[in-house]
Structure 1
């Protein structure tokens, strides 16, 4: 927009609401960090500047145009598009784009067929060209019971007098963990201890969930009942009180990869205690604290200080918001005619190439893994 874009930004209603939250939150953090960098002179940039500001977000939001899924939108005589449900996170959709009579389908991120909160992804019926993600193109999610795993972890930690810390993505994963704990509490399978949600962004996204119940499996009433199980913390002072409270509890806090957020304050106090359990519930990118913990790091740096890792570090693998190889192959199963080509994107080389072989074997589709920067002529 700063460089002159003056068009429309089409999205679903939940996507607009979540984008608004994320953009303003990100801009505020960037402005605060740039100000601090300039005051303390620790940035290599002079002056340090945010990527974008809150006032710049003000100019972006009015350009959003909400479009419901399964609705054909005509952009001009030769171009139209349609969103269809992708199941990845709240509001996520694949796109069917028709240009000059040719149908191009872009999967975006595809969720699991049996996701805890999201409905199964809709499958495309027709496509001349398919652009399909391949994040987990070479793996299958373990067939484990996330409820049983979580029940065991929380009860074992409680019996040791410890706290369970669950670093979590504010969008979708916080809500998934809340749902699982709610189910366990309803069945009286968990101890009577505090269950804390300490992420202002995650709490704001909860409101988006409540307002968009047709997009997920929970009713408005379900969301309200679920929230009654938890202490929702937005205020910083309340957060610090929870951090210093020594009683056993379960804390869900951002960020999911432990790159920042309030979860750092909990880990600063608890990572060196043997009775603490840290439960990773999402993808941990290379170079993040979460990845280092997953790989068995002996110490971790938080706020400039190193702390020994004595806590139990566990991973619940079955909660990914990305479909596995089976889900991705299944997503292609309802195409009524053979596409001219399938392009596999958004995946590491090995994952994409293994999925390519599987697509060709199962469907006989001409399948390619394009390289970065490659120009594809349709």
Structure 2
């Protein structure tokens, strides 16, 4: 018996992760993410899924980021009736991220219709908040390390991947054939998350390659933050930090509080302007032991930042000329409240826009980091005169050396290793390194490619 593996996303790009396994009349989808970035990728979200959602028996999620979970509401709306298997923390974060994603899509569509800048008449959301809330009923959480049997044929086990709260490496045992999905691997020695757990054996392995051709900077992130915040405040400017609502926002507040406690930065007001990030921050307190922080260190609202929930209070941040730090989603500036802050603050040379994570090709974040002199926001070209920086060392993804370190835990080479979840140059560089250093058999798959795992 062979298992057919089809790559429906997460290949040639770092978004849209979807891997379909088929055997013995079963169809299991590992990850169910949204495509982000380039328009030709985003359009895939609107087209029909290459497999009928009604025919899928189960979904397994590696973690809660929308490029891995954000398609679940649409899958359920289009007829999927099976369970969504995840860790408990992933379920808790999806309960925040997915409804918020639907809400933002509704708001963006409404904004486009009111201001007339969409090419579609009317502009519609991909899915709604209600769609997302209904999809949460399909979740069936499983603890780390526990074995879950699906349909008496497949055993599933989650191991910690680092990266963000709840992130996992997925081990599937299908009638003695072990298939491992790395998920998004985290960093070793991260300030907040635990190290990725080792995996010793796989017949077939799918490994991410987001930073497969790069090494993270070794500079201390607090040194960089202190310099940027102090210099910007000295100019009378504001620091706007687009940050992923889960993981990056919390780690930034952790470092900012440490800098304040040490007297290394001016005592500027710090605002966490993302209801999703605010809610996600509270989830960390409910999962002590799955990260490095204490309950007190998770009390960001009592320490580093003021939480901004109200829309009017968010607007007031742009009216107030006082130097400050605004941490707001989304991390790649693809949507959310941060766009309104960028429209206001990007035009003034005194301000700084500071990115704190990977910027996928085709996003505003990638354009800004590359030096764009203007960006299109809400149908208008906004000139960029502010300073633009990037905290590459704060990435939640393992770099090339860290991926190789994780692969070094295997006691024997997999029969075949698929290099996924990376831009083409990163994926091919990692493939070459694995083949050269480990002498493993590797393959970089194409979108919708089908492989028989014999």
* TM more than 0.5: yes
Query: CA 1:327–1:161 in 2, change beyond 3 Å: closer, same or farther?
Result: same
Per-residue deviation at 1:270? Answer: 2.3
Give the conservation status (yes or no) of the 8 Å contact 1:359–1:367.
yes
Q: Which one has a bigger Cα radius of gyration?
A: 1
Give the conservation status (yes or no) of the 8 Å contact 1:78–1:101.
no
1:164 aligns with 2:239: yes
Structure 2 counterpart of 1:87 = 162
Query: CA 1:42–1:144 in 2, change beyond 3 Å: closer, same or farther?
Result: closer
Per-residue deviation at 1:28? Answer: 2.2
Whole-angstrom CA distance in 2 between matches of 1:301 and 1:2? 32
Matched position secondary structure for 1:152? helix
Give the conservation status (yes or no) of the 8 Å contact 1:27–1:52.
yes
Structure 1 counterpart of 2:400 = 325
Residue among 439, 448, 452 paired with 1:364: 439
Structure 1 counterpart of 2:104 = 29
**Deviation string, structure 1 residues 95-119 (Cα, Å, up to 9, x no partner):** 0100111111111111111222111
Structure 1 counterpart of 2:310 = 235
Matched position secondary structure for 2:296? helix
Structure 2 counterpart of 1:14 = 89
Structure 1 gap segments, 5+ residues each: none
Residue among 203, 211, 214 paired with 2:278: 203
Give the conservation status (yes or no) of the 8 Å contact 2:308–2:314.
yes
Moved more, 208-217 or 295-304: 295-304
Whole-angstrom CA distance in 2 between matches of 1:130 and 1:105? 5
TM-score normalised by structure 1 residue count: 0.93
**Deviation string, structure 1 residues 121-166 (Cα, Å, up to 9, x no partner):** 0111111111111111111111111110101111111222221111
Whole-angstrom CA distance in 1 between matches of 2:122 and 2:316? 36
Moved more, 346-355 or 186-195: 346-355
Residue among 98, 106, 121 paired with 2:181: 106
Give the conservation status (yes or no) of the 8 Å contact 1:178–1:226.
no
**Deviation string, structure 1 residues 157-213 (Cα, Å, up to 9, x no partner):** 122222111111111111111011011112121111211111111101111111112
Give the alignment of 1:169-318 within 5 angstroms. 169-224=244-299, 227-318=302-393
Whole-angstrom CA distance in 2 between matches of 1:217 and 1:5? 37
Give the conservation status (yes or no) of the 8 Å contact 2:112–2:378.
no
| Count of aligned pairs between the two proteins | 378
Query: CA 1:49–1:295 in 2, change beyond 3 Å: closer, same or farther?
Result: closer
Query: CA 1:137–1:236 in 2, change beyond 3 Å: closer, same or farther?
Result: same
Give the conservation status (yes or no) of the 8 Å contact 1:273–1:310.
yes
Query: CA 1:358–1:239 in 2, change beyond 3 Å: closer, same or farther?
Result: same
Query: CA 1:226–1:289 in 2, change beyond 3 Å: closer, same or farther?
Result: same
Structure 2 gap segments, 5+ residues each: 1-75
Give the conservation status (yes or no) of the 8 Å contact 2:254–2:304.
no
Moved more, 368-377 or 93-102: 368-377
Per-residue deviation at 1:328? Answer: 0.9
**Deviation string, structure 1 residues 262-300 (Cα, Å, up to 9, x no partner):** 223323332222221111112223333222222222233
